[in-house]
Structure 1
């Protein structure tokens, strides 16, 4: 998993509450088990007409937000089903951080497992960042995970809270497999002893 320490990029405003996982990546795109290739279908039903043409008014179709790395959005983001394809689609598009007043629990957990930083902030601070994000190409926000700070285009600083273990995993690029592999020596030792003591299992 890619490490997350510092991120500077354009923030796209999506002032919608209760954005569910089917809106993030519709069900017809869930056939793949690959984590790549889903970015083009992120927010598919809001980005494209039924015949596949871009909807110019949707934020990620606007030239200034096509390379956005941060999404500022409304409460209860990622509600609905537990599909892990939702963070896959965000990451494949290029979104590394989502800022909202609240998140659905399963989506929130899935973000950390895929190298995305979900930041929960009070509504008034999200509103401030939403205003910053509406600056278009000038909507550049910097995030420092080690310091737990967000800096807006005007230099203002917002502090955020994050669980220490999840912070450690992001800073070191550790997903569930990475955490397991840190114990590789212990696992190898156990297997060698098991081969001697319980050879019928091998």
Structure 2
């Protein structure tokens, strides 16, 4: 998993509330167990017409936001059914940070396990950042996980809270497998001892 420390990039404004995981990645794309290749289907039903053509007015289809790395979203982002494919699709598109007033718990935790930083800020701060993001590609927002701050393009700074353990994992690029591998020497020592003590096992 890629580390997340600091990010300065284009932020796409998406003021819809209750964006659920089926809107993020529709159910027909859940057959794969690969983490790559889902970005093209991100927000599929809003992003494309029924015949597969791009919907011109959808935010991520607009030239200014095709390279967006940050998403400023409405309340309760990632609600609905549990599907890890949702952060996979965001990450494969290039989104490394989502900012909202609240997230569904399972989606929130899945983000940290897949290299995405979900930032919770008060409504007033999200409104300012949403307006800032609406200015287009020239308005770049900065997110610093170490200092736990978000800085708008005009220098307004907003602090956010994050669980210390989740912060450690994201800053060091540690998913569940990475955390296990940190203990590999202890695991190897246990296995060597177990083979001696329990040769029949």
Normalised by the shorter chain, which TM-score bucket? over 0.9
How many residue pairs match? The answer is 201
**1:139: Cα distance to partner?**
2.5
Aligned to 2:12, the other structure's residue is in SS state strand
Matched, 1:94 2:94: yes
Alpha-carbon distance in 1 for matches of 2:27, 2:115: 23
CA distance in 1 between partners of 2:112 and 2:104 (Å) = 13
**1:120 aligns to what?**
120
Q: Which sections of structure 1, spanning at least 5 residues, go unmatched? A: none
Match of 1:150 in 2: 150
Post-superposition Cα deviations, 1:24-50, rounded to whole Å, max 9, x if no partner, equal 000000010000000000000000001
Return the offset for 1:198: 1.2
SS of the counterpart of 2:137?
A: helix
The TM-score with structure 2 as length reference comes to 0.99
- The within-5 A match list for 1:16-95 is 16-95=16-95
Alignment pair present for 1:200 and 2:200: yes
1:155: Cα distance to partner?
Answer: 1.1
> How many Å separate the matches in 2 of 1:78 and 1:139?
25
RMSD: 0.6
Segments of structure 2 that go 5 or more residues without pairing to the other structure are: none
